[in-house]
Amino acid sequence: MERRDFLKLTAASGLLIAADGLPAQASGAKELPPGAVGLLYDATLCIGCKACVASCKETNSVPGGALWSDGMKQPPYETVTGEPPIWDAASDLSGRTVNVIKAYRAGDGAKDTEGGYSFVKQQCMHCVHAACVSACPVSAMVKDPQTGVVTYNKDACIGCRYCSIACPFLIPRFEWDQAFPQIRKCQLCNHRLKENKYAACAEACPVGATVYGKTADLRAEAERRLALQPGSYYEYPLNHMESGRRVRSVVANYQKQAYGLHEVGGTQCLVLSGVPFDRIGLPKLPEAAYAAKSETLQHTLYKGMIAPGILLAGLLFTAYKSTRDHE
């Protein structure tokens, strides 16, 4: 196709789309599901013991778990290269680790100060308007309409890895070293919910740094902590917001917001920290969900299948013209 023909085709496409009538409808931000559950991670309480990491790996290495594979004999531990497999030594999220504790250090200052150090927990944030679900072309990523938990179906997955690219937190990981690779990410121990159990990371936390519960309760709890006086004492919920167990600790000097409350349309997992979030590896993100923007663009381009139809017509015309020229 010559350049002039291409420009004509493009212009015609734009005119037809514009003449189609009503503008394409924006997908808009989605609402928090009625029974949404999640986690509240308070970095100022975390002692870096990694009990949550070990519990996550063991609990999810069973049928239905986020790390399970057919024929698995033991949890997929990550050992130090060249060392015997004595303990798990995961340093980042991977195809074998869907929950990890990392350390931030910028100087010799105190814990939870920008010139000191802090811990940070990383796992799927379970976005209210999940980009991975929106990007998946085969519905291998699904958001539960009641709990809002984002789960993965390996039988539907085609390995395109669009979910990994779309995620603003870069959470889903691909098993590059496996013959039949899967996407691995936290599924909030969804396989345990039917047993009236909850996320293993929260269940194992001995200091209340990670607590599980309804997202609405977690958001209210985060707001309560942000309103506390630094240096005072507070009875922090332990493990589960409804467990009734509490642990008394000194209130830290928090950053004045809960991470995940507004980022990309909100997430069901929240983070509190004494150190700026971008310093502990949590990216600065807009309030609008990326998924809402991309879905609006898709709806505009594919409304009535006009644009694809014009593209197909252009290709057929090009083929016809080329054939005629050869004759």
For the segment 80-110, what is each residue's pLDDT rounded down to a tens digit? 666 666 667 788 999 999 999 999 999 888 9
Q: In sequence order, what are the beta bridge partners of 118?
A: 104
pLDDT of residue 201: 98
Q: Which amino acid belongs to residue 158?
A: I
Name the β-bridge partners of 42.
Answer: 272
Extract the runs of DSSP E, i.e. beta strands, from 167-306.
Answer: 173-174, 183-184, 210-214, 233-237, 246-250, 270-272
How far apart, in whole angstroms, are the C-alpha atoms of residue 185 and residue 168?
14
Residue written as tokens 């239905």? 64
pTM of the model: 0.82
| pLDDT beneath 50, residues of the chain | 3, 6-26
What is the per-residue pLDDT across 252-302, written as a single tens digit (0 to 9) for each? 999 999 999 999 999 999 999 999 999 999 999 999 887 776 666 565 665
In degrees, rounded to 5, the angle at the alpha carbon of residue 41 between the alpha carbons of residues 37 and 46 is 150
pLDDT value at residue 276: 96
Query: Helix 306-326 to helix 3-18 angle, to the nearest 10 degrees?
Result: 150
Token pair in block for residue 281: 């590896």
Residue-wise burial string across 193-211, b where 16 or more C-beta atoms lie within 10 A, e elsewhere? beeeebbbbbbbbeebbbb
